[in-house]
Chains A and B, each alone.
Chain A
Amino acid sequence: MVAAIELLPETRRRDVAARVRDLRRSFGARAVIDGLDLDIDAGEFVALIGASGAGKSTLLRVLAGLDAEIEGDVTVAASRAVVFQAPRLLPWKRVWRNVVLGLPGRPDRRRAAAALAEVGLEERADAWPRTLSGGEAQRAALARALVREPRLLLLDEPFAALDALTRLHAQDLVASLWRDHAPAVLLVTHDVDEAIALADCVLLMRRGVIAEKVRIDLPRPRGAADGRFVALRAQLLGWLGVTRAAEGGR
């Protein structure tokens, strides 16, 4: 689906969803983000990888507006939504009310139902969040993010807690939702295969900056058996310091 990008008019293509210049974020004396620059175009799918503690989640939290103890210039789309590693649904509100929480006006059941239908969860609209399975809860969190029609969707390892099979389904779902709604996406992940399968562009974060960047122009859907996929995986794993390139991404 390279076409998805090309279909966007040039003017919109040049719109930015996020623009970061010389960002710094320190915890005590330790600068987790140290002079970082980042551009995300409208509609672009960017994956961010890096070792644990490299500052990926910190960067995502800054873009989400959850962390403002920063220096530097950060411009982000005003309409943005976040999906965290944990679904973070309010357990005392039924699923559909969680989905439309925070939208202006009265809670709109039909709007919630439409969003839940998109993630294949319409029959759980009246369930309590704690009765959902891990994959269902994460799909509800996706619906909650998408119902806002964000221009920038921030995904903080949203599939990390899911089992392997559910994770593959969730990745396909994100790919199709991105195709239909065309938000810019920043996906923080540990999973190299996931990054290659989904993203237009993979960034590596190291020592507080974007240290490496590679564009991925393989046709979608991307199979892990593809020779170029294998080569990319070796390259990304190499960035992460894993030399046994033949082994899987996780």
Chain B
Amino acid sequence: MDALESIRPTSARRWRTPPLLPRLLGVALVVAAWQTLSSTGVIDAQELASPGTAVATGLALVRSGVLPQAAWISLLRVLAGMAIGSLAGGGLGLLCGLSRAGEELLDAPLQMLRTLPFAGLVPLFIIWFGIGEMPKVALIAFAVAFPIYLNVYAGIRSAEAGLVEAARTLGITGSGLVRHVLLPSALPQALVGLRYSLGVAWLALVFAEQINASTGIGHLMTDARELLQTDVIVVCLCAYALLGLLSDLTVRALERSLLTWRPAYTGA
């Protein structure tokens, strides 16, 4: 009988534990260990603040309005950079995806630019744009443009030839083809690009705010470094992480609402 196997219903196969609990348990263990090491003096408060201190500092910074103010400014920088970068990347992706002439003209230089490490552009951007908001937004825009470009371009080129052909037999050509067939079929891939570029945007923000920022989370961190306030640094890192997480959740919600037509594999 051992050549037979029974198919167990999914309801029996699934873990019955509440999904949030085990995950939080892992986090709690790490934090507890950290707190213990700090309290016993193994970790020097000068090098890394204890979680307790960090939470207290964080609450104080929120209450005084310093952290929300800084986070708001950082968020605005990311949004501005994302807007400019995705417009540029999306536009170029459309151009290269839709037109072979555009591809031949633009793709090679864009691929070359793409290999530049954006963090290395900081000195150049300071010379070009000074030390105001401009170089920060420009750096984010530059970093964001390429993932968007690549994914929009690839998305358009992955449109099914059969659907394009069927649309043509229905009399759909030119802009109609772009609107009804090419753009919707590029959308899933473009959203992958958006998600990836949001991650890159926060990374670029960290680099951008290390240079001469007088506002924003990066500024808070620079000040904290001067004063060896490791608790503030920990709070700022957490703020970056939370903002990054928040933007990822936003894109996921966007994906769910825009891709309802796609019954996709949701994971085992």
Contact = CB atoms under 8 A, between A and B. Distances in A.
Contacts, number: 52
For A86, A88, A128, A129, which residue has the most chain B Cβ atoms within 10 angstroms? Answer: A88
Interface of A: 64-66, 80-82, 84, 86, 88, 90-93, 101-102, 128-131, 144, 148
Contact of A130 (B171, B181, B262): B262
A130 B184 CA distance: 15
A101 B172 CA distance: 8
Closest 9 CB pairs of A and B: A102-B170, A88-B166, A92-B184, A82-B169, A102-B171, A92-B261, A128-B261, A102-B172, A88-B162
Interface in B252-268: 260-263
Contact of A90 (B169, B181, B263): B181
Interface of B: 162-163, 165-172, 176, 180-181, 184-185, 187, 260-263
A84 B166 contact: yes
A78 B261 CA distance: 33
Q: What DSSP secondary structure best describes chain B's contact surface?
A: helix
B163 A90 contact: yes
A88 B164 CA distance: 9
Q: What DSSP secondary structure best describes chain A's contact surface?
A: loop
Contacts of B180: 90, 93, 101
A64 B169 contact: yes
Contacts of B263: 128, 130-131
Contacts of A128: 260-261, 263
A118 B113 CA distance: 56
Contact of B170 (A91, A92, A144): A144
Contact of B261 (A66, A88, A130): A130
B172 A88 contact: no
A101 B253 CA distance: 28
B261 A91 contact: yes
Contacts of B165: 66, 88
Nearest to A144: B170
Given A84-B162, A90-B180, A92-B184, A101 B261 contact: no
